[in-house]
């Protein structure tokens, strides 16, 4: 899978904002009512990650979950990460 350039990533993120490019990754912080709801989201994300065999870095801080995506094989952000970002957005509920 091709690594996308910074301008390509920025252009793609403008449309589906909420995600920001940070170095060779994209990330978004999702906020929930409490820790349990945050963890339920994490579990939905985990199930999806297994299905597509693409696994985000996940940081949980009580009611906030930060997902950080990159494609290690490509050494940066690829289409795979942008597709995963949209799926994660849909799992937010």
User: Which stretches of the chain bind ligand H2B, using CB under 6 A?
Assistant: 53-55, 70-73
Decide: helix, strand or coil at residue 7.
Answer: helix
Please identify, using beta-carbon distances, which residue of 21 and 35 lies nearer to ligand H2B. Answer: 21
The distance of closest approach from Cβ of residue 33 to ligand H2B in the complex, given in angstroms and rounded to an integer, is: 28
**Rounded CA separation 80/85 (Å):** 9
Nearer to ligand H2B, 14 or 51 (CB): 51
Cβ atoms within 10 Å, residue 91:
16
Least distance from ligand H2B to the Cβ atom of residue 68, Å: 9
| Strand, helix or coil for residue 30 | strand
The smaller minimum CB distance to ligand H2B, of residues 48 and 55, is found at 55
Nearer to ligand H2B among residue 48 and residue 92 (C-beta): 48
For the bound state, the minimum distance from the C-beta of residue 41 to ligand H2B, rounded and expressed in Å, comes to 18
β-pair partners for 71: 76
Whether the CB-CB separation of 48 and 87 falls below 8 Å is answered with yes
């Amino acid at each position: 899978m091709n690594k996308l350039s910074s301008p390509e990533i920025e252009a793609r993120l403008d449309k589906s904002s909420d995600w920001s490019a940070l170095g060779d990754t994209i990330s978004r912080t999702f906020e929930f009512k409490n820790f349990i709801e945050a963890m339920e989201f994490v579990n939905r994300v985990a199930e999806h990650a297994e299905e597509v065999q693409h696994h985000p870095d996940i940081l949980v801080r009580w009611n906030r979950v930060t997902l950080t995506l990159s494609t290690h094989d490509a050494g940066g952000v690829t289409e795979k990460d942008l597709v995963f970002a949209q799926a994660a957005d849909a799992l937010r509920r």
